[in-house]
Amino acid sequence: MQRSMLAEKVAHLHRELHQMGMESLQSLKSTLIAIDDEDMERSKQVIEQDATINQYELSINDAIVEVLVTQQPVATDLRTLTAMMKVTADYERLGDLSVEIAKSNLHRAPFHFSAYEKGILLEMGEYCIAMAEEAMEAFHDLDLERVMRIEQSDVVVDDLYGRAIREFILNGHDERAVIQLAYIARSLERIGDHCTNIAEQVMYVKKGIHFDLNRPTIV
């Protein structure tokens, strides 16, 4: 009976965590649309919506602690629950970084990003969205194949970040705009790192070993 109850609680937490991931993913998608459309109102909405993601983190972590105390899980269940606490932190950071991008979109006014500059950011953004989607599904399904794809995509995002910074510095038309472009590119690069963090937790749950999938970024 206790084992069945624990399984139900873990399954419920997986669903709640997945929903939190969906909120973080939507925040990322919205903030990139705002960049592309130069939509200030959408950027403000992203900032306001972050409170929802923060509340998910608090409620999920409280629920995890309750399960740890009352059910005393071991082995895979214990690894799953401790991994969940780390994943909530990564989802929360995804939301925070989307907010940072939204703030940069607000701060760049009255200057405009060129189509070329936005193209570089949006290319990074597309990879980050794909990585976030893969990370969510990888952890929900404990899918090691997705983990490998996330690692490969992170290499691409790191390379795009290096290219972006070089392009912005060499070809930027306004110093203040360049600063915001660099902030956005850095936020996207960090989003990629948090996606690899989530992938690492899949490895931990499945194999019981800590892996480091992040590599140093060289600009």
Residue 147, C-beta contacts closer than 8 angstroms, at least 6 positions apart: 138, 199, 202, 203, 213
pLDDT tens, position by position, 89-125: 999 999 999 999 999 999 988 888 999 999 999 999 9
Report how far residue 120's alpha carbon sits from residue 181's, in angstroms, rounded to the nearest whole number: 10
Burial code (b: 16+ CB inside 10 Å, e: under 16) for 43-82 equals bebbbebbeebeebbeebeebbeebeeebebeeebebbbb
Segment 156-185 shows an average pLDDT of 90
Least confident of 89-98, 151-160, 205-214: 205-214
pLDDT at residue number 109: 81
State pTM to two decimals: 0.92
- Greatest mean pLDDT among 50-59, 68-77, 103-112: 50-59
Model confidence at 216, in pLDDT bands (50, 70, 90)?
low
Chain mean pLDDT for the chain:
92
Report how far residue 170's alpha carbon sits from residue 115's, in angstroms, rounded to the nearest whole number: 16
Let me know the angle formed at the C-alpha of 90 by 85 and 95, rounded to the nearest 5 degrees: 125
Q: What is the DSSP string of 146-173?
A: HHHHHHHHHHHHHHHHHHHHHHHHHH-S
218: left (phi over 0), alpha (psi -120 to 50) or beta: beta
**What CATH number belongs to 2-207?**
1.20.58.220
Report how far residue 84's alpha carbon sits from residue 36's, in angstroms, rounded to the nearest whole number: 33
Residue 36: Cβ-neighbour burial (10 angstroms; 0-12, 13-18, 19+) = middle
Report how far residue 218's alpha carbon sits from residue 177's, in angstroms, rounded to the nearest whole number: 22
Contact assessment for residue 43 and residue 106, using Cβ atoms and an 8 Å cutoff: yes
Model confidence at 205, in pLDDT bands (50, 70, 90)?
very high
Segment 182-186 shows an average pLDDT of 96
pLDDT at 218 over 70: no
